[in-house]
């Protein structure tokens, strides 16, 4: 399983923004099982890259392929399968349902294509320190609690690639490391890759390759 970037550059970027980037306008292949760290200063297109890889947006020149299939040629049905079976994501803006409970937000994802039984939700929530929040509406949780909800939600499905867009921006080091350890364990269960984009290098993420965006 591979994600390939071929001369990728957002259409709203000037060509000069490729200068110094190890991602834009490069040919890159990300393989299942790899841990990829992308250091991405503000304004460098970190969230755009994650959205492109997930297939939410296609305002880019160049190509992204999944197993040699061009994402720009995917149908709605192709993307439904892609996001259900092959690629999971933790968005920077989280995208929880505010009026649903923490449990419901996670369970909705699990029901689409479950990798774990329902009882795993409580186990993961307890492990990340939000076990007592499962019945709370997500909108009344702190942002750090909501980040942990989004992380657990992303781990409910099968995936070959897990995309992380600043997943720890409102977590302290202890909670960040706990969450990272859980994600690493889940990636190993699937022999999946993690593509982790953040503002800086994270020492407790054991990346196999590092790129500067």
Q: What is the mean pLDDT of residues 61-69?
A: 96
Return the residue matching tokens 């061009």.
70
pLDDT value at position 201? 81
pLDDT, tens digit, 9 for 90 and up, residues 31-56: 999 999 999 888 889 999 999 999 99
Q: What is the mean pLDDT of residues 81-106?
A: 96
Look at residue 88 and give its three-state secondary structure: strand
pLDDT, tens digit, 9 for 90 and up, residues 4-23: 999 999 999 988 878 889 99
pLDDT value at position 14? 86
pLDDT value at position 43? 83
Q: What is the DSSP string of 62-73?
A: EEEEETTEEGGG
Q: Which of 52, 40, 72 lies closest to 9 in space, CA to CA?
A: 52
pLDDT value at position 17? 79
Residue 178 has pLDDT above 90, yes or no: yes
Distance between terminal CA atoms of the chain? 23
pLDDT value at position 127? 97
Per-residue pLDDT band for 92 (boundaries 50, 70, 90) equals very high
CA atoms within 13 A on the CB side of 63: 13
pLDDT value at position 20? 86
Q: Which of 22, 38, 35, 27 lies closest to 5 in space, CA to CA?
A: 27
- The rounded mean pLDDT for the chain is 95
Helices and strands, number each (H, E), in the chain: 6, 9
SS3 content of the chain, % helix, strand, coil (to 5): 40, 25, 40
Domain boundaries, the chain: 2-212
Return the residue matching tokens 């689409």.
112
Q: What is the mean pLDDT of residues 102-120?
A: 95
Q: Which of 102, 153, 101 lies closest to 130 in space, CA to CA?
A: 102
pLDDT, tens digit, 9 for 90 and up, residues 116-131: 999 999 999 999 999 9
pLDDT value at position 41? 86
Percentage of the chain modeled with pLDDT above 70: 100
pTM of the model: 0.95
Q: What is the mean pLDDT of residues 199-208?
A: 91
Q: Buried b vs exposed e over 175-186: b needs ≥16 C-beta within 10 Å? A: bbbbbbebbbeb
pLDDT value at position 200? 86
| Choices 3.40.50.300, 3.40.47.10, 3.40.50.2020, 3.40.50.720: CATH for 2-212 | 3.40.50.300
Q: Which residues pair with 69 in a beta bridge?
A: 66
Percentage of the chain modeled with pLDDT above 90: 92
Q: Which of 26, 40, 36 lies closest to 2 in space, CA to CA?
A: 36
């Amino acid at each position: 399983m591979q994600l390939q970037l071929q001369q990728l550059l957002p259409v709203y970027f000037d060509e000069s923004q490729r200068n110094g980037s190890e991602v834009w306008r490069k040919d890159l292949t990300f393989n299942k099982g790899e841990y990829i760290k992308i250091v991405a200063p503000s304004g460098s297109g970190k969230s755009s890259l994650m959205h492109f890889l997930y297939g939410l947006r296609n305002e880019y020149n160049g190509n992204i392929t999944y197993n040699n299939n061009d994402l720009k040629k995917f149908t709605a049905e192709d993307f439904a399968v892609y996001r259900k079976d092959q690629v999971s994501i933790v968005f920077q803006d989280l995208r929880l349902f505010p009026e649903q409970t923490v449990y419901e937000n996670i369970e909705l994802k699990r029901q689409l294509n479950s990798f774990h039984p329902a009882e795993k939700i409580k186990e993961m929530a307890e492990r990340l320190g939000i076990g007592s929040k499962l019945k709370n509406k997500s909108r009344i949780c702190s942002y750090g609690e909501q980040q942990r909800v989004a992380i657990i939600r992303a781990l409910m499905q099968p995936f070959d690639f897990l995309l992380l867009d600043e997943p720890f921006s409102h977590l302290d080091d202890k909670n960040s490391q706990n969450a990272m350890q859980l994600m690493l364990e889940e990636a190993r269960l699937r022999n999946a890759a993690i593509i982790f984009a953040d503002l800086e290098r994270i020492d407790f993420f054991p990346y196999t390759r590092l790129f500067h965006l």
